Amino acid sequence: MCRPRIASTGVVAPPRWRTLLATGLFALAVSVPASASGPPGERRNWFDTPFDGAVAGAAACPRPEGPLLTEAEMRLQAHGRIERGTSCWLAKKCEDSNLYRRDPEIQQRVLQAIRSDRAFTRSSVWVTTERRFVTLQGCVESARVRSELLARVRGVAGVEHVFDQLIIGTQAKPRWTVDRNGPGR
């Protein structure tokens, strides 16, 4: 357990990690309003969460909206994102305090794994990576292809969990929010 330091003035100082956490939260609170711009209700990818199409072989497959949030939703999520990362780091379960830092490189490995397998060329699949969790959305041609795709992505280095939001064919109701401005239905 961390013991508080007693400063030369006799005042008890908080442990270093509390000071670092408070400084980080203050910096976020100050920087978010400065970077926030756009009309109220505008939806955008505030946290630059990796979201990409891996394959596009099923033309009628509805495109997912992706990780878009309003400014209000972003503000609600910001504290939890920082808290999760800091808690993980303090518990020595993570290599640093940013749980999201490795997401772009994990995303690239997942995209490469999907694109390198010819079994998935007749499917349309979008990939989102957040906190080592990968979400697959899209249309696959069969249950067998779905199983192969899930197994392939689960085997990618750095992937902790895969969320399956795939549908078989293009006629079933999508299990994701559809991009109303994109191609597809």
- The 10s digit of each residue's pLDDT in 96-119 is 778 899 999 999 999 999 999 999
Of the pLDDT bands very low, low, confident and very high (cuts 50, 70, 90), residue 146 is very high
Of the pLDDT bands very low, low, confident and very high (cuts 50, 70, 90), residue 15 is low
Once rounded to an integer, what is the mean pLDDT over residues 114-136? 97
Residue with tokens 């993570």: 94
Rounded percentage of the chain residues whose pLDDT exceeds 90: 62
Helix (H) or strand (E) holding 174: none
Q: How far apart are CA 167 and CA 175, in angstroms?
A: 7
Q: How far apart are CA 50 and CA 35, in angstroms?
A: 19
Helix (H, G, I), strand (E, B) or coil at 178: strand
Question: Looking at residue 93, what is its pLDDT?
Answer: 81
Once rounded to an integer, what is the mean pLDDT over residues 45-57? 97
pTM of the prediction?
0.77
Domain assignments of the chain as residue spans, ordered by start: 47-67+101-168
Of the pLDDT bands very low, low, confident and very high (cuts 50, 70, 90), residue 69 is very high
**Res. 167: pLDDT tops 50:** yes
Out of 25-29, 67-71, 81-85, 145-149, pick the least confident: 25-29
Q: Where are the alpha helices (DSSP H) in the chain?
A: 16-35, 71-90, 103-115, 143-154
**Res. 147: pLDDT tops 80:** yes
Q: How far apart are CA 29 and CA 57, in angstroms?
A: 43
Task: Confirm or reject CATH 3.40.50 for domain 47-67+101-168, answering yes or no.
Answer: no
Once rounded to an integer, what is the mean pLDDT over residues 135-139? 98
Q: Which residues of 70-91 are buried (b: 16+ CB within 10 A; e: fewer)?
A: ebeebeeebeebbeebbebbee
Q: How far apart are CA 165 and CA 148, in angstroms?
A: 14
How far does the chain reach from its first CA to its final CA, in angstroms? 57
